[in-house]
Structure 1
Amino acid sequence: MVQPLAPQRDALKFAYWVPNVSGGLVVSTLPQRTDWGLAYNQQLAQTAERAGFEYALTQIRFTAGYGAEYQHESVSFSQALLHATTRLKVLAALLPGPWHPAVVAKQIATIDHISGGRIGINVVSGWFKGEFTAIGEHWLEHDERYRRSREFIQALKGIWTQDKFSFRGDFYRFTDYTLSPKPLQQPHPEIFQGGSSRAARDNAATVSDWYFTNGNTPEELKRQIDDIQAKAQANGHRVRIGVNAFVIARDTEEEAQAVLADILKHAHVDAVKAFGEAVTQAGKASPEGEGNWARSTFEDLVQYNDGFRTNLIGTPRQIAERILALKAVGVDLVLTGFLHFIEEVEYFGAKVLPLVRELEAAQAATAAVGIAQPA
């Protein structure tokens, strides 16, 4: 077995999707040894922490569908996972609209104290109109949803870092508001945000700490990342990049490809088509037609954040090398999903992560030699 090396200072970080909704991470009738309940998820969190994962991301859903008939609420579920772990940072997904920034700021600050500074948030601007309609929330057009998210993030940062915070936006207003106690994390808990549209990228380049993008090839990711980072630099802002990936790691490439074929063979066709209709509309709703899922195929949507596109499917060595290719184009974090979570997270930590650290160390050593050579 390859022994893990100490991570480099700029080492890639790893997160996993918390299966706090039923149905697992693929829209398929193939049996999955993954469960949405608390006991399973606490065991998974402990397994991931031992395996070397830094983050866990809970999901936010208000309505059933697409295989997710049951859903646990993200913030309270995140706190339960924090109680079961000691190092893992848990990211709670939040929707501006249902959540007000004053409530979020206070709630997350309290959890930050309880957990010793291990809570973060993922701001989801919203893509499913039916969900908003069902709970009586006003539905905004695409770019307006991202404009609200920007104000939401600006308000959170102000509340968490300032006394007598005042803000006058189109969606949120504060007057001399002081939150006490403020979060333990300085300057504030990490704020993640996703999307692929122009509006999503502009938010990331302006206010977010982290930007999540759907799965894609290194070449396509590089286009997005270069665009975001150029704008961030012009704004005097720093943002880090996370990419979604569904991992199928097996001892042989043939085994891994067979698992993928089995998932697709057993795809829940009606559920995938229904999901596809909703998300394709959401993806094309951006003015430039480049939102999430705008170009997704049926096969892409079986893993509902285009996770197959990232191609972390094969042997541990193949996957580790592809992960380093992601790092080379500017990816800082890989957000993983698995078919059978606990056992596959354990396998990933034992077989893949040590190879990633080994390759990172080798690259760092090569770079150091190059720097040391006389001109």
Structure 2
Amino acid sequence: MSAPDPHEPLKFAYWVPNVSGGLVTSDIEQRTDWGYEYNRKLAVLAEDNGFEYALSQVRYTASYGAAYQHESTGFSLALLLATQRLKVIAAVHPGLWHPGVLAKFIASADVISGGRAAVNVVSGWFKDEFTKLGEPWLEHDERYRRTEEFIRVLKELWTDDHAEFGGDFYRIHDFDIKPKPESRPHPEIFQGGNSTAARKLAGRVSDWYFSNGKDFDGFTEQVEEVTGYAAENDHTVRFGLNGFVIARETESEARDVLREIVAKANVDAVEGFRSAVKQAGKSTSDTKGMWADSEFQDLVQYNDGFRTGLIGTPEQIADRAIEYKRRGANLLLLGFLHYLEDVAHFGSDVLPVIRAKERDLARGAGAPEPATGRV
């Protein structure tokens, strides 16, 4: 496994709270709002505090503490128009989008924004979103086969004036999209998933592989495996890691916040989510699917963000961020409890410490290696 360039700064993204309920399924106070005006203000704040990317979530129907949700692509375009530098990633589902229609939308968004549109292609975990719309729910590995064709069609349409594709799910005949996206060679394509099928998919076609929250060893295992698949396909893939940040003056204060989040968890919503997502791991032949080993506490932050351990003082959070960088992370995708306050605090108090440690790392000094294991 080749380590990231120590001279390249770690990138930061944030989860767009375009879904009600905040980023934890808990009755703890979350001074975060899912509406557009709040999110417009947040996007401007984030790009002024060191964030290069934002990821708009995709939920189509009320579920598990998320009663309301804005559609991801339209919301992403609105945030692009409200900002100057921020790249906005829209999460999308093959099976609910045709790749040709999405390619056209993203091409326009990319041109309008000056090359700042991207997509996160989600193979799907919530069966009801498909079946209640009358769409088929494919077996796990078939969903990833469809996703691979979806991504290949996007690339073909974005780069070829006479796009052709013949697959089991999609067929394109001499199709031309103009204007082409401004991004070169095309808008960035992100993809997640924990299963072997997801890892192999990333090693063949995706620009970025998103990992759910992981401890050091879990993340290293994913990076090594996906990098191996990429090498087999003469392909390059970059790595993003999900994490939930609780930064306080002392570690005990941060731990107290975590304990309160979990103590006030909405048990019915968490258990409903657990029931829905556990099939993702069980439906794979090697049980390597998303959330396959997640415990109740992990699922209170629905992308296992607590497991990354970005909880403590700015110094402690910076040490962990640097260690994840050493282990292959190019980007950290972050969630917060009180977005406006916490993003501003991250930019003023945490990010400068990370950048200082990166400079040490580039000079060969490195940062002290924190303890491994789960938090």
TM range (shorter): over 0.9
Contact 1:17 1:57 (C-alpha < 8 Å) held by counterparts: yes
CA RMSD of aligned residues (A): 1.2
SS in 2 for 1:366: coil
How far the C-alpha of 1:8 sits from its partner, in A, is: 6.9
Pick one of 316, 327, 334 that aligns with 1:329.
327
TM-score (normalizing by structure 1): 0.95
Match of 1:263 in 2: 261
Equivalent residue letter for 1:148: R
Shift of 1:283: 2.1
| Amino acid in structure 2 at the alignment position of 1:97 | G
Aligned pairs (5 A) from 1:69-148: 69-148=67-146
Q: Which amino acid aligns with 2:152?
A: Q
Q: Counterparts of 1:285 and 1:248 in 2: how far apart (Å)?
A: 33
| 3-state DSSP of counterpart to 2:284 | coil
- Aligned residue in 2 for 1:300: 298
Shift of 1:366: 2.1
Q: Percent identity?
A: 59
- Can you give the 5+ residue segments of structure 2 that lack an aligned partner in the other structure? 367-375
In the TM superposition, what is the alpha-carbon distance from 1:367 to its structure 2 partner?
7.1
Q: Which runs of 4+ in 1 moved over 2 A?
A: none
Instruction: Report if the CA contact (8 A) 1:128-1:282 is conserved.
Output: no
Contact 1:21 1:70 survives alignment (8 Å): yes
Shift of 1:233: 1.0
Partner of 2:361: 363
Conserved? CA contact 2:6–2:361, under 8 Å: no
Residue type at the aligned position of 1:291: G
Structure 1 residue runs of 5 or longer lacking an equivalent are 1-6, 369-375
Distance 1:231 1:194, change over 3 A: same
Deviation readout 1:190-230 (Å, 9 max, x if unpaired)? 00000000000001000000000110111111011101101
Residues 247 and 313 in structure 2, CA contact (< 8 A), matched pair in contact too: yes
Alignment match, 1:287: 285
Specify the code of the residue in structure 2 equivalent to 1:342: L
| SS of residue paired to 2:48 | helix
Q: How far apart, CA to CA, are the structure 2 residues paired with 1:164 and 1:255? A: 59
Tell me if the contact between 2:241 and 2:331 (Cα under 8 Å) persists in the aligned partners.
yes
Quote the Cα distance in structure 2 between the aligned partners of 1:301 and 1:366: 37
Check the 8 A contact 2:7/2:362 in 1, yes or no: no
Count of paired positions: 362
TM-score normalised by length of structure 2? 0.95
* Residue from 169, 172, 175 that aligns with 2:170: 172
Counterpart residue type for residue 149 of structure 2: E
* Aligned positions of 1:181-220 closer than 5 A: 181-220=179-218
Residues 1:135 and 1:51: Cα distance change in structure 2 (over 3 Å): same
Q: What does residue 44 of structure 1 align with? A: 42
The answer as to whether partners of 1:8 and 1:357 remain within 8 angstroms in 2 is no
1:333-372 deviation digits (Å, cap 9, x = unpaired): 100000001100000011111111111111111279xxxx
